[in-house]
């Protein structure tokens, strides 16, 4: 037990669950858990199989990307996580995967259109796909710039309402109030990506869900008078 045991445990559990989720092959994904008070997060060590993880293999990193605790190298995507924690107030976890349907939309450089109530139960807009990064960003501090690209894309969007994004030619990042919620959002995103792909195959001219239905589904689950779930 140490002062980071809560976030190490949370990151450990979410990474193990990610490994069992069917979303990842090999070691293609990572989850982190944030301690807002201390300004540090625990993240998966880089390239380690999910079944070999323990809470003490988690690496604790501060928002300037310094390793604070742990003996292993953190995920190579660590700097992207720290940009998002620095910028998106109040989020408690981030998840990154290369799940196949979400990656397909990212590689096609298309946002995932909001086509039905499954999508509207979770967010009120398309799942956005960023612009491609330019060569300066790629050749510079790449993982930090990946975070910057996401943050830039959300200047006109609400990260509280839309807890997920596709980085063009790369794949999805999701976040939420906890590591567990961030992982949940990755699972939902993959299912929405699959449903939308099948839908546009059946009807290439299908259009966004009407505004009233988006609003209704979102409010019943997340609004002030929400009646989904237990009180």
Applying CB under 8 A, which residues contact its own copies? 25-26, 28, 45-48, 72-73, 76, 98, 100-101, 103-110, 115-118, 132-133, 135, 138-139, 142, 169-171, 184, 187-188, 191, 194-203, 206, 209-210, 212-213, 216, 220-221, 227-231
Query: Is 228 among the residues known to form the active site?
Result: yes
Contact partners, residue 76, CB within 8 Å, separation at least 6: 46, 143
Residue in 134, 141, 161, 228 annotated catalytic = 228
- Using CA atoms, how far residue 160 sits from 26, 67, 123, in Å, is 31, 28, 10
Judged by CB, which is closer to its own copies: 57, or 87?
Answer: 57
Query: What is the distance between the alpha carbons of residues 75 and 102, in angstroms, rounded to a whole number?
Result: 21
> What is the rounded (10 degree) CA torsion for 99, 113, 32, 12?
-50
Query: Is 121 among the residues known to form the active site?
Result: yes
Judged by CB, which is closer to its own copies: 36, or 138?
Answer: 138
Residue in 56, 62, 121, 125 annotated catalytic = 121
Give the SS3 label for residue 200.
helix
Judged by CB, which is closer to its own copies: 1, or 202?
Answer: 202
Q: Which residues are catalytic?
A: 121, 228
């Amino acid at each position: 037990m140490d002062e980071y045991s809560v976030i190490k445990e949370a990151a450990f559990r979410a990474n193990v669950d990610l490994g069992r989720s069917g979303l990842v092959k090999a070691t293609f994904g990572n989850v982190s858990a944030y301690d807002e008070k201390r300004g540090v997060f625990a993240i998966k060590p880089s390239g380690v199989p999910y079944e070999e993880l323990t809470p003490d293999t988690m690496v604790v990193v501060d928002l300037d990307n310094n390793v604070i605790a742990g003996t292993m190298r953190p995920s190579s995507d660590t700097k992207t996580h720290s940009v998002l924690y620095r910028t998106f107030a109040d989020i408690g976890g981030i998840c990154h995967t290369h799940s196949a349907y979400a990656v397909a939309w990212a590689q096609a450089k298309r946002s995932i259109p909001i086509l039905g109530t499954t999508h509207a139960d979770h967010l009120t807009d398309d799942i956005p796909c960023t612009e491609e990064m330019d060569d300066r960003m790629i050749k510079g501090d790449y993982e930090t710039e990946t975070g910057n690209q996401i943050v830039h894309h959300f200047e006109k969007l609400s990260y509280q309402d839309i807890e997920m994004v596709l980085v063009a030619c790369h794949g999805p990042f999701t976040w939420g109030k906890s590591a567990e919620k961030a992982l949940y959002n990755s699972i939902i995103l993959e299912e929405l990506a699959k449903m939308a792909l099948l839908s546009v195959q059946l009807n290439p001219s299908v259009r966004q869900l009407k505004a009233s239905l988006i609003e209704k589904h979102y409010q019943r689950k997340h609004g002030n008078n929400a009646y989904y779930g237990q009180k």
